[in-house]
Amino acid sequence: MLIVKKFGGTSVANKERIFNVAKRCIEDYKNGNKVVVVLSAMGKQTDVLLDMAKDINPKASRRELDMLLTTGEQTSVALMAMAMDSLGVPAVSMNAFQVAMHTTADYGSARIKRIDTERIKNELDNRRIVVITGFQGINKYDDYTTLGRGGSDTTAVALAAALHADACEIYTDVDGVFTADPRIVPKARKLGEITYDEMLELASLGAGVLHNRSVEMAKKYGVQLVVRSSLNTSEGTVVKEESNMEKMLVSGVAADKNVVQIAVEGLENKPGVAFKLFQHLANHNVNVDMILQSVEHDGTQDISFTVTEDMADTAIETIERHAHTSLKCSNTEVVKDVSKVSIVGAGMMTNAGVAAKMFEALYDAGVNILQISTSEIRVTVLIEEKYTDIAAQAIHDAFSLES
Amino acid sequence: MLIVKKFGGTSVANKERIFNVAKRCIEDYKNGNKVVVVLSAMGKQTDVLLDMAKDINPKASRRELDMLLTTGEQTSVALMAMAMDSLGVPAVSMNAFQVAMHTTADYGSARIKRIDTERIKNELDNRRIVVITGFQGINKYDDYTTLGRGGSDTTAVALAAALHADACEIYTDVDGVFTADPRIVPKARKLGEITYDEMLELASLGAGVLHNRSVEMAKKYGVQLVVRSSLNTSEGTVVKEESNMEKMLVSGVAADKNVVQIAVEGLENKPGVAFKLFQHLANHNVNVDMILQSVEHDGTQDISFTVTEDMADTAIETIERHAHTSLKCSNTEVVKDVSKVSIVGAGMMTNAGVAAKMFEALYDAGVNILQISTSEIRVTVLIEEKYTDIAAQAIHDAFSLES
């Protein structure tokens, strides 16, 4: 078997953890498998480097930032290869140049285009464990690029696809994907399997065990993923196209407190106003989520939407800059104490009444719904933040997701 | 003009110093010059990385060590490019892959074979300052290599040669090359010029302002060097083939306390004994300096030699391992409190009496000579370490080297 194993920064944060990872990989190696290991930078090293850069130049170019950040994973892979060597197993570290890992030109948010697999295959054939830098690539200018936050997951999936790996294991600090966050819903149950689509909805809803783009890529290339813990040997959750189990109505409940609702009031009620508003926001890279447009009142209307907390200031500034020119709104209001609670499940799309059951559970728990949005396999409600845990628990109970 | 400027780790150890270097380079740039900057890792970063490696695997492979160490210079060049950008001057950082800087395959002690200059030239033509990682290269396997301690000097000289640079400036924390160490001889004078050969003798004698191999390469390719301070704007010392000045008898006095004398006693007096001894030492990478072979006494002889302090243990262990087999010696003795004091000067070879004058000065100062060795442009004496400063001062006075 050819196995790709990815470990995040927490798993290689110090000497002890590096050796733990090394031993896990060596176990697979000694069982006769070919082993490729993808690593992130140690612990908080990426943040340390970003702080160094900020101190020198708060507006540093992404090209130079990527040049700086890529030292993080290179440090991890070199130390990991040394650890494996010291345990008597030949290992070789490789960075994005050595692989080579070709990406688009976009510094800071590049996408993988092509992976040269020749050297990796040679090293594997020579019975070495190959330890590869996650998160980084090189572009057509021979410059380093990075794949954005969580990019190491994507590196692992891309390598698994290019090498036609038999398994792609994503190690994390939880046991797998759960029916809800176990810190909120104590009886949450680990899922044995989940589909790519369900995982995508969960990831984008703040239950993010996996980086969204890695799941998209896994779906595209049919790479079966296993999400499992680097701390124990429990089996984890398999992410794949179709669940073998009877399709569950609802796979899980996701809660996301990292949400702010912004209301823009007194907008002129004429064509193109909403377009202009969201155009301005998009120009400033503000991702807008749940949108609600009020009915007209005295020739004006209100539009509210949600954004993640870190984008709230940018959103407000953007709107206020245009408040007296292209937008002509009377007021903006920010509601910080809101959260999103969602149910996700591939079975939902063929099953009526799921949303109703969710709303009923919330009503019984005394939770008021501020806004609703849905997709084929998801229902999301916006509620007051203080009710988040109660809501998640109530929905979890209503759908009998407990273990 | 195309100027190559090299700054060591001390010069880029923190934000303030990085900006100092950036400003110096920008001055040249704004005067219309093309500027290439070569940097070492920040401060003691190389040692920090070596300690990390040692902690993981004390016998880490040189291949993985080089993979780890090369992150140091990459960090420096990225931060420097950011600093220059923030001062309004476009800059681009490049590592050994991006250059590409081709070396021999020897990890840890590679030699530069060939430098691709196309991208550097393009970036310079686009009016960018090019900031390049010193100390590192890539070999035919597409692996990182390093050039050994002080290797960044060599990188700078090699770049100056490949780019046909008009100037190659090596920045350090002293004002240039002196007639003696100013900490020992307060009246030591900064030399305006010095020949490659003199510089080579001085470097190998512990007056090391420049890395030996960088001087050898500068001599080979006729790259004129300037050694100057990164802390002030004084003119520094020019290192070149021929001094324009009337050749001085003696250019300088070098003192080296990093010396241990090892005496191997009671060796059989038969052919091949000295060969075997030094063969064993060479096999363990022990570089031997001043050798003294005693006259025979009762069929045995003694051989003594000097090594640097860090190699003393290896030398002793090596000899004792063979003391009863191939070597058959009765005893080894280590004398730690010795030092070397030397005079260096291109004028020496055509001038008799220089050595005699040196010995006279030492005699007058009451310093006993333990051993003597000479080259065409150098006379070295081994003396008791406690007399080092007195000896250097006395010789400096005798040849009137003071300013």
pLDDT at residue A111 greater than cutoff 90: yes
Least confident range of A191-200, B203-212, B385-394: B203-212
Provide residues of A within 8 Å CB-CB of chain B: 15, 18, 49, 52-53, 55-57, 59-61, 63-65, 67-68, 70-71, 74-75, 77-79, 81-83, 85-86, 92-93, 95, 97-98, 119, 142-143
pLDDT at B388 over 90: yes
Q: Which residue of A has its CA nearest to B15?
A: A56
Q: How confident is the model at residue A260 (pLDDT cuts 50, 70, 90)?
A: very high
> How many residues in chain A?
403
Indicate the residue of B64, B79, B92 with minimum beta-carbon distance to A82. Answer: B64
Sheet holding B101-103, edge to edge: B112-115, B101-103, B136-138, B144-146
Mean pLDDT across A275-282: 87
Q: Are strands B167-172 and B2-7 parallel, antiparallel or unpaired?
A: parallel
Summarize pLDDT for B137-168 with one digit per residue, the tens: 999 999 999 998 779 999 999 999 999 999 99
Least confident of A24-33, A70-79, A273-282, A349-358: A349-358
- Judging contacts by C-beta atoms under 8 Å, the chain B residues touching residue A49 are 75
Confidence of residue B354 (pLDDT cuts 50, 70, 90): confident
Q: Answer yes or no: do B92 and A63 touch at CB < 8 A.
A: yes
Query: What is the pLDDT at residue A247?
Result: 59
Phi, then psi, of A210 in degrees rounded to 5: -120, 150
Whether A34 has a pLDDT exceeding 80, the answer reads: yes
Instruction: List, edge to edge, every strand of the sheet that includes A167-172.
Output: A91-94, A129-133, A34-39, A2-7, A167-172, A225-229, A237-240, A193-195
Is the predicted pLDDT of residue A403 greater than 90, yes or no? no
Highest mean pLDDT among A264-278, B48-62, B203-217: B48-62
Inter-chain residue contact A79 with B18, CB threshold 8 Å:
no
Q: In chain A, what residues touch B92 (CB-CB under 8 Å)? A: 63
Question: In this predicted structure, what is the pLDDT of residue B274?
Answer: 81
**What are residue A375's phi and psi, to 5 degrees?**
-130, -175
Q: Is A99 helix (H, G, I), strand (E, B) or coil?
A: helix
- The larger pLDDT score, comparing residue A1 to residue A182, is at A1
A396, HSE (Cβ side, Cα atoms, 13 Å): 24
Name the minimum distance, in Å, from the CA of B82 to any CA of chain A: 5
Cα separation, A207 vs A200, in Å, equals 10
**What secondary structure does DSSP assign to B43-110, as a single string?**
TTHHHHHHHHHHHH-TT--HHHHHHHHHHHHHHHHHHHHHHHHHTT--EEEE-HHHHTEEE-S-TTS-
Q: Give me the count of residues in chain B.
A: 403
Burial of residue A296 (number of CB atoms within 10 Å: 0-12, 13-18, 19+): exposed
Question: Is B74 in Cβ contact with A70 (below 8 Å)?
Answer: yes
pLDDT at B208 over 80: no
Spacing of C-alpha A80 from chain mean position: 25
Minimal Cα–Cα distance from B73 to chain A, Å?
A: 10
By DSSP bridging, strand B101-103 and strand B144-146 are unpaired
pLDDT, tens digit (0-9, with 9 covering 90-100), for A318-368? 888 887 777 778 888 899 999 999 999 887 776 778 888 899 999 999 999
CA distance readout (Å), A12 to A176, A233, B52? 19, 17, 13
Cβ distance of B78 and A95 shorter than 8 Å: no
Mutate to test the interface with A, among B15, B56, B138 (most CBs of A within 10 A): B56
Q: What is the pLDDT of residue A245?
A: 55
Q: How confident is the model at residue A290 (pLDDT cuts 50, 70, 90)?
A: confident
Stretch B290-315: mean pLDDT: 85
Backbone angles phi, psi at B157, to 5 degrees: -65, -40
Q: Chain B: nearest CA to A166, how far in angstroms?
A: 28
pTM confidence score: 0.84
Strands (E), A174-251: 193-195, 225-229, 237-240
In this predicted structure, the answer to whether residue B5 has a pLDDT above a threshold of 70 is yes
Mean of the per-residue pLDDT values of chain A? 91
Q: Closest to B82 (Cβ–Cβ): which among A53, A78, A85?
A: A53
Q: What is the per-residue pLDDT across A65-107, written as a single tens digit (0 to 9) for each?
A: 999 999 999 999 999 999 999 999 999 999 999 999 999 999 9
Residues of B in contact with A95 (CB under 8 A): 67
Nearest CA distance, B140 vs chain A (angstrom): 11
- Rounded CA gap, B161 and B261, in Å? 39
What is the count of residue pairs from A and B with beta carbons less than 8 Å apart?
A: 106
pLDDT-based confidence at residue B295 (cuts at 50, 70, 90): confident
Q: Average pLDDT, stretch A245-250?
A: 65
Contact A57/B18, CB-based, under 8 Å?
Answer: no
Answer yes or no: do B78 and A53 touch at CB < 8 A: yes
Residue A99 sits at the vertex; the CA angle it makes with A96 and A105, to the nearest 5 degrees, is: 45
Distances, alpha carbon A398 to alpha carbons A346, A348, A401, in Å: 17, 15, 8
With a cut of 90, say whether residue A249 has pLDDT above it: no
Confidence of residue B206 (pLDDT cuts 50, 70, 90): low
- Rounded mean pLDDT of B70-74? 98
pLDDT score, position A157: 97
Who among A56, A61, A97 is closest to B18 (CB)?
A: A56
Q: Report the residue of chain B nearest A84, measured CA to CA.
A: B57
Residue range B8-13: mean pLDDT, rounded: 94
Residue B385's closest CA among B350, B345, B347, B335?
A: B335
Nearest CB among B57, B75, B86 relative to A71 is that of B75
Q: Is the Cβ pair A85, B142 closer than 8 Å?
A: no
**Position B352 pLDDT exceeds 80:** no
- Residues in chain B with CB shorter than 8 Å from the CB of A53 are 78-79, 82
pLDDT of amino acid B244: 56
Least confident segment among A166-170, B223-227, B315-319:
B315-319
C-beta atoms of B82 and A18 within 8 A: no
Q: Token pair for residue A120?
A: 């990796």
Cis bond upstream, residue A100 (ω within 30):
yes
Which residues of chain A lie closer than 8 angstroms to B15, CB-CB?
Answer: 55-56
The pLDDT assigned to A243 comes to 62
- Taking the C-alpha atoms of residue B81 and residue B14, their distance in angstroms, rounded to an integer, is 14
Residues 6+ apart with CB under 8 A from A366: A387, A390
Q: Is the pLDDT at B267 greater than 90, yes or no? A: no
Average pLDDT of span A173-195: 88
Q: Kindly identify which residue of chain A lies nearest to residue B69, measuring between CA atoms.
A: A75
CA separation for the pair B98, B75 (Å, rounded): 15
Confidence of residue B298 (pLDDT cuts 50, 70, 90): confident
Q: Is the pLDDT of residue B8 over 90?
A: yes
CB within 8 Å: B60 and A119: no
B330-362 CB burial, b ≥16 within 10 A, e <16: eebeebeebbbbbbbbbbbeeeeebeebbbebb
Angle at B188 between CA B184 and CA B192, to 5 degrees: 140
Contacts of A355 (CB under 8 A, 6+ apart): A372, A374, A379
Chain B residues lying within 8 Å of A78, measured CB to CB: 53, 64-65, 67-68, 71
Q: What is the ipTM of this complex?
A: 0.82
Alpha helices in B128-211 (DSSP H): 151-162, 196-204
What is the spatial distance between Cα B266 and Cα B298, in angstroms, rounded to a whole number? 9
Which chain B residue's Cα is nearest to A81? B64
Which 3 state secondary structure label does DSSP give A8? coil
Contacts of A65 in chain B (CB under 8 A): 78, 82
Highest mean pLDDT among A172-186, B30-44, B192-206, B229-243: B30-44
Is the Cβ pair A79, B52 closer than 8 Å? yes
Best mutation site among A56, A93, A140, A143 for testing chain B: the one with the most B CBs within 10 Å?
A56
Better pLDDT: B142 or B231: B142
pLDDT, position B287: 86
- Parallel/antiparallel/unpaired status of strands B34-39 and B2-7: parallel
Kindly state the tokens that stand for B231.
């802390």
CA distance B29 to chain A (A): 20
Cβ distance B78 to A68 less than 8 Å, yes or no, reads yes
Question: Mean pLDDT in chain B?
Answer: 91
| Banded model confidence at residue A269, pLDDT cuts 50, 70, 90 | confident
B67: closest chain A residue by CA: A78
A149 or A7, which is more confident? A7
Contact (CB<8Å) B67/A142: no
Closest chain B C-alpha to A141 CA, distance in angstroms = 9
What pLDDT sits at residue A158? Answer: 97
Residue A206: is its pLDDT beyond 70?
Answer: no
Residue of B nearest to A48 (CA): B75
Q: Which helix (H) or strand (E) holds B256?
A: strand B252-268
**Is B179:B185 a contact under the CB 8 Å cutoff?**
yes
Coil, helix or strand for B320?
Answer: helix
Tell me which of B169 and B378 has the higher pLDDT: B169
Return d(Cα A86, Cα B400) in angstroms, integer.
Answer: 58
Whether B178 has a pLDDT exceeding 60, the answer reads: yes
- Which chain A residues touch B142 with a CB distance below 8 Å? 97-98, 119
Q: What is the percentage of chain A residues whose pLDDT exceeds 70?
A: 97
